[in-house]
Chain A
């Protein structure tokens, strides 16, 4: 029983971590119809920024974390302005550009930060005992809570604010929204920046648990795409549910079937969804 509860708890925490890693991709796909292959690299850069700001420059981690997110937000804004904007209207071009960018960023990270895994300082060390049944790492619990707070803020931003309303209007009908006076270029730029900032937020929150390496970005992007396709392209709710399903399934599968095929369980569900519900769990059928 204790073991089952541990697997479930870990599945839940990993699920939320999956969701926060993927929500930026989902947002950008939903609003701009652009699939950002360089998502994982933005995550990794944020992790390294946070590491160097706090350990090399000696800033407090509380300050280093938001600063890193701001840097990555600016990277996103610049990417949109100079690389993505010229490709609007042709999804294939933006796909290729972000793919090439991911390779360039990955190699730059290798050059700038070196090949070794690095970890920003943990804010809380040690582990908490759950009713004497099992121990769970404090940093993981902390990251879990922050992630939930960020996910809730994103929902609020998109569903309740004026910015969210204009974003949704643009994703539904770009021309009509522009006619109503929404500056779609500005909204796109901010949305892409927000997507990047969310990749960055995931990076700074998760890097103290799983240290970042330049080449770790591919795995992060891959998980994000699995979660987004599972939940439905562009659906924020789907992203959270998809992340949770993946987290819980991988942990229970590893525990009761085989640890060797941990990542296969997610892919099996993905294939089933693609066969029977290609638009994802919460996506819109087109």
Chain B
């Protein structure tokens, strides 16, 4: 009998304890790949979330409660991503979800967000259609294919007078979308180009590179994400395509992973990549704070800019909850539409005009960076440049 009473007391106190605990926190959802070919992004997200939570909770949390995160793995697979989002919406009943770095996963998730009417702020899935669908619940505080190409990649190619462009794109939603936009721009410039489609999981690019060599390009726009980019850069050097032709990594993070130099060796010299982060370029005081907090917590400089992207969207979500003074979906969307918040990459204001990808979209400024003697040199845009572009021979 005493044992039964003890057990009952234990269970009741546990329930009361967890209820009391639950009242003290607000949980928001995060989606992103923690496994699969882009598991590195999951790691970058975890780091960014940790710093964002420290920052927000040190300032009193949201609505006087501690902010917490439920991070669901998508594996980079659309079906898994959709069910991860559904879990957050139905099981955890989070008021808002942030994250994602794969366009194909995001395109699946926005349908679920729309069905359950859960506000969703995307940080690193670039496909135009994500915001072009004009869903009321979907926001993006991050790069969009058309913006990246129209304002950065295409002007960079034109400004530096490249004569023949090779576009190499993986068969993913991101790869197809960004390559099509690039082709559109090259046609407008009247610049000759050739497009090569490759498989997302390819390891061996010798055949593709031999074909490219015959075309004699002076710039290769590589729209390949993850490990594949390392293979491509290393092999291009082996078969003698680069550095005669410079390679621009159209995504960026794989060129910044710790393993990049070990994997590509000499072939990494003069490689170019897109980034929204550089240790010498701090657009806002928040950027500097992020850099210092990161160094303090992890004992090294941040490298993958997706760490900072997720940090930004967690800040945006917390700000919206605080201003809405509520966690209901309608109030949150209204608050998000009025966002005017300084993050690491500028002041976030979402577009409100329906009809294009600019609806509920805010894009941070990007940089084209080149590896010169294993150091990052910003070569575009001019106003942010820390050095000149070096050509290979």
A245 to chain B, nearest CB (A): 16
Please report which residues of chain A, range 113-170, place their CB below 8 angstroms from some CB of chain B when the two chains form the complex: 114-119, 122, 125-127, 134-137, 140
Taking CB as reference atom, which chain A residue is nearest B257? A116
Count how many chain A residues have C-beta atoms less than 8 Å from C-beta atoms of the other chain: 39
Cβ-defined contact, B259 with A10, below 8 A: no
B contact residues, range:
35 or more
Interface segment among B1-9, B158-166, B205-213, B338-346: the answer is B205-213
A111 to chain B, nearest CB (A): 10
- B262 close to A (CB within 8 Å): yes
Residues of B within 8 A of A114 (CB): 43
Cβ-defined contact, B42 with A117, below 8 A: no
Task: State A114–B257 Cα separation when bound (angstroms).
Answer: 12
Residues of A within 8 A of B11 (CB): none
B102 to chain A, nearest CB (A): 14
B265 to chain A, nearest CB (A): 7
Candidates B198, B235, B258; contact of A116 at CB < 8 Å: B258
Task: State A269–B263 Cα separation when bound (angstroms).
Answer: 33
Cβ-defined contact, B239 with A127, below 8 A: yes
As a 0/1 sequence over residues 215 to 254 of chain B, the CB contacts with chain A under 8 angstroms (1 = contact) are 0000000000011001100010011100000000000000
As a 0/1 sequence over residues 57 to 87 of chain A, the CB contacts with chain B under 8 angstroms (1 = contact) are 0000000000000000000000000000000
Task: State A116–B39 Cα separation when bound (angstroms).
Answer: 8
Cβ-defined contact, B238 with A137, below 8 A: yes
Residues of A within 8 A of B204 (CB): 10, 14, 210
Residues of A within 8 A of B240 (CB): 127, 135
B340 to chain A, nearest CB (A): 36
Candidates A6, A134, A137; contact of B235 at CB < 8 Å: A137
Task: State A177–B185 Cα separation when bound (angstroms).
Answer: 71
- A237 close to B (CB within 8 Å): no
- B40 close to A (CB within 8 Å): yes
Candidates B198, B206, B226, B263; contact of A119 at CB < 8 Å: B263
Cβ-defined contact, B42 with A115, below 8 A: yes
Task: State A134–B214 Cα separation when bound (angstroms).
Answer: 11
Residues of A within 8 A of B301 (CB): none
Cβ-defined contact, B259 with A118, below 8 A: yes
- A1 close to B (CB within 8 Å): no
Cβ-defined contact, A211 with B263, below 8 A: yes
- A7 close to B (CB within 8 Å): yes
Cβ-defined contact, B259 with A125, below 8 A: no
Cβ-defined contact, B210 with A117, below 8 A: no
- A36 close to B (CB within 8 Å): no
Taking CB as reference atom, which chain A residue is nearest B238? A137
Cβ-defined contact, B196 with A6, below 8 A: no
Residues of A within 8 A of B197 (CB): 258-260
Cβ-defined contact, A135 with B207, below 8 A: no
- B24 close to A (CB within 8 Å): no
Taking CB as reference atom, which chain B residue is nearest A262? B199
A21 to chain B, nearest CB (A): 11
Candidates A215, A255, A258; contact of B39 at CB < 8 Å: A215
B277 to chain A, nearest CB (A): 18
Candidates A6, A107, A219; contact of B210 at CB < 8 Å: A6
Candidates B171, B231, B262; contact of A118 at CB < 8 Å: B262
Cβ-defined contact, A211 with B259, below 8 A: yes
Cβ-defined contact, B207 with A255, below 8 A: yes
Residues of B within 8 A of A107 (CB): 35
Taking CB as reference atom, which chain B residue is nearest A260? B197
- Say yes or no: A119-B262 contact (C-beta < 8 A), given A259-B208, A262-B202: yes
B251 to chain A, nearest CB (A): 15
As a 0/1 sequence over residues 92 to 134 of chain B, the CB contacts with chain A under 8 angstroms (1 = contact) are 0000000000000000000000000000000000000000000
Task: State A117–B39 Cα separation when bound (angstroms).
Answer: 10
Cβ-defined contact, A210 with B203, below 8 A: yes
Residues of B within 8 A of A125 (CB): 265-266
Most buried by B among A10, A118, A259: A259
Task: State A107–B240 Cα separation when bound (angstroms).
Answer: 37
A213 to chain B, nearest CB (A): 5
Cβ-defined contact, B227 with A216, below 8 A: yes
Residues of A within 8 A of B43 (CB): 114-115
Task: State A260–B202 Cα separation when bound (angstroms).
Answer: 10
- Say yes or no: A219-B211 contact (C-beta < 8 A), given A116-B40, A116-B257: no
B163 to chain A, nearest CB (A): 22
A108 to chain B, nearest CB (A): 12
Cβ-defined contact, A254 with B207, below 8 A: yes
Candidates A118, A210, A215, A259; contact of B207 at CB < 8 Å: A259
Task: State A47–B214 Cα separation when bound (angstroms).
Answer: 34
Cβ-defined contact, A259 with B238, below 8 A: no
Task: State A14–B235 Cα separation when bound (angstroms).
Answer: 14
Cβ-defined contact, B36 with A215, below 8 A: yes
Candidates B203, B206, B263; contact of A6 at CB < 8 Å: B206
Residues of B within 8 A of A126 (CB): 238
Cβ-defined contact, B207 with A251, below 8 A: yes
B135 to chain A, nearest CB (A): 31
As a 0/1 sequence over residues 30 to 65 of chain B, the CB contacts with chain A under 8 angstroms (1 = contact) are 000001110110110000000000000000000000
Q: Which residues of A does B touch, CB under 8 Å?
A: 3, 6-7, 10, 14, 55, 107, 110, 114-119, 122, 125-127, 134-137, 140, 210-211, 213-216, 219, 251, 254-255, 258-263
Q: Provide a sorted-by-A list of 18 A–B residue pairs whose CB atoms are within 8 angstroms.
A: A3-B211, A6-B207, A10-B207, A10-B210, A14-B204, A116-B257, A117-B226, A118-B262, A118-B263, A119-B263, A211-B230, A219-B201, A255-B207, A255-B211, A258-B197, A259-B199, A259-B208, A260-B171
9 more CB-based (< 8 A) A-B contacts, given A116-B258, A251-B207: A7-B207, A110-B35, A119-B262, A213-B39, A213-B227, A216-B37, A258-B197, A259-B211, A263-B201
Going nearest first, the 6 A-B pairs with the smallest beta carbon separation are A115-B39, A260-B197, A137-B238, A117-B227, A116-B259, A10-B206
